[in-house]
């Protein structure tokens, strides 16, 4: 059974940093793309970053480019999101997700079958 568990969220002041982790279990994830999504109150869930199965980041949302860095450690089955220079508008629940198909990069959240429970990130002004 696939499980994704996010951690690292919290309350931080604007300009601060957080590092999110997503521990994956239940299969070997080295053949799968992984992604970070977020959902702010009253807004739709959006893709933040996507990283291919070979470890190359293929997408960053415009709003986070230059501030967020995604990486993965396939040996540890863990996905990371380093978030720097945080802004109040980054406040959201952050989710990691894995698509159904291996060797497949997708930016469409409907193609992601496995989701973590989310971790809250709150940035105060």
User: What is the residue-wise DSSP string for 81-123?
Assistant: EEE-S--GGG-EEEEEEEESSTT-----GGGEEEE---EEEEE
Is 5's pLDDT higher than 90?
yes
Distant-in-sequence, close-in-space partners of 63: CB < 8 Å, separation ≥ 6 = 89
Cα 116 to Cα 5, 44, 69, 122: the distances in Å are 5, 17, 19, 18
Cβ–Cβ under 8 Å, residues 22 and 9:
no
Secondary structure (3-state) at 29: helix
d(CA 22, CA 4): 6
pLDDT at residue 84 is higher than 90: yes
Query: Would you place residue 27 in the very low, low, confident or very high pLDDT band (cuts 50, 70, 90)?
Result: confident
Q: What was the pLDDT predicted at 17?
A: 98
């Amino acid at each position: 059974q696939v499980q994704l568990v996010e951690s690292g969220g919290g309350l931080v002041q604007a300009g601060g940093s957080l590092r999110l982790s997503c521990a994956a279990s239940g299969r070997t994830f080295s053949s799968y793309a992984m992604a970070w999504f977020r959902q702010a109150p009253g807004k739709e869930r959006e893709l933040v970053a996507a990283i291919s199965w070979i470890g190359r980041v293929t997408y960053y949302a415009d709003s986070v480019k230059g501030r967020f860095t995604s990486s993965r450690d396939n040996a540890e089955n863990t996905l990371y999101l380093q978030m720097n220079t945080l802004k109040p508008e980054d406040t959201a629940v952050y989710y990691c997700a894995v698509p159904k198909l291996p060797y497949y990069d997708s930016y469409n959240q409907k193609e992601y079958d496995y989701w973590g429970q989310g971790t809250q990130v709150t940035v105060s002004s």
